[in-house]
């Protein structure tokens, strides 16, 4: 099959069969398809779309373009499951959820990413822990997934290599914004981890990857249909990103917050609610709980017994971090040298938060990258972030800045203050943390 013929058919808005899509993606992975052809393919898909069957074939071809992890030879005593998020600010769910699910009998091989744009990355957070190695060898990864139940590590070159090339070309050819390409990219990587089930957290709001609530919903529906169509039962929670999920952002600060949750504290937070809802969905979907009430009982036991925290500690130590991080976090997670509060200029209720601006503030403080390869300052970030609907008086903090220096703090103070819109009392009702749950054939 000629690659230029596949391109011609998609250019003419014809439907590609699975064979053509697999042939194309194999060529992307082995280098026989050139960058110009990849760009032409991506542009044709952006302009002419793909039907469901094509999108499923593209996802499967992405998944199968490299190594697909297999777990059956390990004789695991529970299902292999995972959660993935479209990314946000103060979204440290993975750090808590992975160990929590492990403590409930699941096995979580979580391949995570680094910060992208204004969003934080799980790997960057974990690298705030001295010694934590996000690139262990295969044997150690598998041993931790079997014995501890969870290992959170970085993308390996062998998983879904076609996506790496395709994404690189999309990035420079204005072809990122295409639902089938986005879904194949996200799910292809996840499904290559050999999962029995997957739960996705699709963010909605001004800090979300998708630009509108309608687009987030459309992505969620496509993920459920295509993930399940590719053979992995997949459900989606649409969750709110009109404000940071935790009241903090920044790598070491978010590890502190994860430990707090794993100790059973902070249960009134939106972060807890979203993490708990995702965990419930995962346990029920994978058959580790019979229903939501059963899942709640199991999750509570895992938390109060200390088992979830124990799993986190074993994962950290297994990957080269200290064995007593949970007991002495302040000893290992260095604080920023300079802290100061950004205060409210007048009285009011927090009516809107520019979540993206807060995420970019963390990046500007050095907690994220301006360019790929930049070093990260894990100490810096934001804490005590005021919530939507919160009343503040003049001079009261909107957030606390953790910076490497006073000059760094001053450089972002104005823009971070401007991220908060203050209005009249009670003029806004914040959105619920969880907007909807979507499952195959059913939604609520």
Q: Which residues are near ligand URA by CB under 6 A? A: 167, 176, 181-182, 185-186
Nearest residue to ligand URA, scored by beta-carbon proximity: 185
Task: Write down the catalytic residue from 107, 190, 217, 402.
Answer: 190
Report phi then psi at 255, rounded to 5: -65, -40
For residues 182 and 399, which CB has a smaller minimum distance to ligand URA in the complex? Answer: 182
434, 444 contact by CB (below 8 A): no
The C-alpha atoms of residue 60 and residue 25 are separated, in whole angstroms, by: 10
Q: What number of other Cβ atoms are within 10 A of residue 172's Cβ?
A: 10
Strand order in the sheet with 338-343: 338-343, 397-403, 381-383
The C-alpha atoms of residue 289 and residue 287 are separated, in whole angstroms, by: 5
Closest approach of Cβ 181 to ligand URA, in Å?
6
Radius of gyration of the chain from its Cα atoms, rounded to whole angstroms? 22
For residues 55 and 182, which CB has a smaller minimum distance to ligand URA in the complex? Answer: 182
Task: Write down the catalytic residue from 63, 107, 114, 189.
Answer: 189
CA angle (259, 265, 268) in 5-degree steps = 125
Closest CA to 233 of 219, 248, 242, 223: 223
Beta bridge partners, 338, equal 403
Report CA dihedral (244, 128, 256, 249) to the nearest 10 degrees.
-20
Q: Is 414 a catalytic residue?
A: no
Task: Write down the catalytic residue from 86, 185, 355, 437.
Answer: 185
Q: Is 170 a catalytic residue?
A: yes
For residues 186 and 303, which CB has a smaller minimum distance to ligand URA in the complex? Answer: 186
Distance of CA 60 to the CA centre of its chain: 21
Q: Is 85 a catalytic residue?
A: yes
Closest approach of Cβ 59 to ligand URA, in Å?
12
237, 436 contact by CB (below 8 A): yes
Closest approach of Cβ 267 to ligand URA, in Å?
31
Q: Is 10 a catalytic residue?
A: no
Closest approach of Cβ 183 to ligand URA, in Å?
8
Closest approach of Cβ 158 to ligand URA, in Å?
17
For residues 42 and 288, which CB has a smaller minimum distance to ligand URA in the complex? Answer: 42
DSSP secondary structure string for all residues of 158-220: TSSHHHHHHHHHHHHTT----HHHHHHHHHHHHHTT--SEEEEEEEESTTSSSSSHHHHHHHH
For residues 185 and 234, which CB has a smaller minimum distance to ligand URA in the complex? Answer: 185
Report phi then psi at 434, rounded to 5: -115, 120
Q: Is 212 a catalytic residue?
A: no
Q: Is 164 a catalytic residue?
A: no
Strand order in the sheet with 234-240: 81-85, 197-204, 234-240, 434-438
For residues 176 and 343, which CB has a smaller minimum distance to ligand URA in the complex? Answer: 176
For residues 176 and 431, which CB has a smaller minimum distance to ligand URA in the complex? Answer: 176
Closest approach of Cβ 171 to ligand URA, in Å?
9
Q: Is 84 a catalytic residue?
A: yes
Task: Write down the catalytic residue from 10, 22, 63, 84.
Answer: 84
- Phi/psi region, residue 31 (left: phi>0; alpha: psi -120 to 50; beta: rest), is left
Closest approach of Cβ 166 to ligand URA, in Å?
9
Strand order in the sheet with 348-353: 391-392, 348-353, 420-423
Task: Write down the catalytic residue from 10, 63, 83, 118.
Answer: 83
For residues 62 and 251, which CB has a smaller minimum distance to ligand URA in the complex? Answer: 62
Closest CA to 90 of 243, 245, 205: 245
- Phi/psi region, residue 395 (left: phi>0; alpha: psi -120 to 50; beta: rest), is left
Task: Write down the catalytic residue from 107, 114, 118, 170.
Answer: 170
Q: Is 190 a catalytic residue?
A: yes
Q: Is 82 a catalytic residue?
A: yes
Task: Write down the catalytic residue from 23, 62, 65, 85.
Answer: 85
Closest approach of Cβ 387 to ligand URA, in Å?
27
Task: Write down the catalytic residue from 59, 64, 65, 82.
Answer: 82
Catalytic residues: 82-85, 122, 170, 185, 189-190
């Amino acid at each position: 099959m000629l690659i230029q013929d596949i391109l011609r058919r998609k250019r003419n808005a014809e439907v590609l069969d699975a064979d053509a899509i697999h042939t194309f993606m194999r060529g992307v992975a082995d280098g026989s398809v050139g960058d110009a052809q990849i760009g032409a393919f991506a542009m044709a898909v952006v302009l002419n779309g793909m039907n469901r069957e094509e999108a499923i074939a593209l996802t499967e071809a992405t998944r199968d373009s490299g190594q697909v992890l297999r777990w059956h030879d390990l004789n695991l005593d529970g299902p292999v499951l995972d959660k993935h998020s479209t990314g946000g600010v103060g979204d440290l769910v993975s750090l808590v959820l992975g160990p929590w699910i492990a403590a409930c009998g699941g096995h979580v091989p979580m391949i995570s990413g680094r910060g992208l744009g204004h969003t934080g990355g799980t790997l960057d957070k974990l690298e705030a822990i001295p010694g934590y190695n996000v690139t262990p060898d295969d044997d150690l990864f598998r041993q931790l997934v079997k014995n501890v139940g969870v290992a959170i590590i970085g993308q390996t070159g062998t998983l879904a290599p076609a996506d790496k090339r395709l994404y690189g070309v999309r990035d420079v050819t204005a072809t990122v914004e295409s639902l089938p390409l986005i879904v194949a990219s996200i799910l292809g990587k996840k499904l290559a981890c050999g999962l029995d089930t997957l739960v996705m957290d699709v963010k909605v709001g001004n800090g979300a990857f998708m630009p509108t609530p309608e687009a987030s919903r459309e992505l969620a529906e496509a993920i459920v249909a295509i993930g399940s169509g590719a053979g992995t039962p997949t459900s989606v929670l649409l969750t709110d990103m009109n404000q940071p999920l935790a009241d903090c952002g920044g790598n070491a600060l978010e590890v502190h917050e994860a430990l707090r949750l794993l100790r059973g504290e902070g249960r009134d937070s939106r972060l807890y609610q979203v993490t708990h809802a995702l965990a419930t969905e995962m346990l029920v979907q994978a058959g580790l709980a019979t229903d939501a009430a059963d899942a709640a009982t199991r999750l509570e036991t895992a938390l109060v017994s200390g088992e979830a925290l124990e799993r986190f500690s074993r994962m950290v130590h297994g990957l080269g971090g200290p064995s007593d991080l949970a007991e002495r976090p302040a000893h290992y997670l260095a604080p920023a040298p300079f802290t100061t509060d950004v205060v409210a200029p007048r009285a009011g209720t927090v009516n809107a938060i520019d979540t993206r601006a807060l995420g970019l503030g963390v990046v500007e403080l050095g907690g994220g990258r301006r360019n790929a390869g930049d070093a990260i300052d894990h100490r810096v970030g934001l804490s005590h972030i005021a919530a939507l609907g919160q009343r503040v008086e003049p001079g009261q903090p909107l957030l606390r800045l953790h910076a490497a220096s006073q000059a760094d703090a001053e450089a972002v103070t104005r823009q971070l203050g401007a991220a908060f819109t203050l209005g009249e009392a009670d003029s806004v009702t914040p959105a619920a943390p969880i907007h909807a749950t979507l499952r195959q054939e059913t939604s609520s």
